[in-house]
Amino acid sequence: MKKTTVINSELSTVIAGMGHMDWLSVGDAGMPVPMGTKKIDLALTKQLPSFIDVLKNILSELEVQKIYLAEEIKTQNPSQLTAIKNLLPDVEIEFMPHSELKKNTAKTHAFVRTGEMTAFSNIILESGVTF
């Protein structure tokens, strides 16, 4: 049995297959997923698992060099923005309109759906390198 922290087989496979500058998106329960984008649905019920818990789990195995967030998170969900910044204090952040973030999920290796029920709890992670 796998010893590391990401034990979801689909998610582990996606992370293992990512290279430098590849994208992975993580989002709330209401984020639409474009046709053709792999959806890894972890949602069990409202708030389970939370966006932050899933993000922490992914960050335990994925090197991230840049993140993309909706501009709207600054005013509509500032506590989530603070939590994200606390997890990724030295990572560059690019903000874009939520409509653009939704379109960009089509360019990601997968979309990980959480049970999160707060607005604009969506992120695109750009993988870095460990050397």
Which residues define the annotated binding site for substrate?
Answer: 28, 98, 120-122
State the catalytic residue, choosing from 16, 20, 21, 107.
20
User: Quick check: helix, strand or coil at residue 94?
Assistant: strand
20 is catalytic: yes
Q: In what order do the strands lie in the sheet with 92-96?
A: 39-41, 111-113, 23-27, 123-127, 64-70, 92-96
The secondary structure of residue 105, as a DSSP letter, is G
Annotated binding site: 28, 98, 120-122
Q: Which residues are known to be catalytic?
A: 20
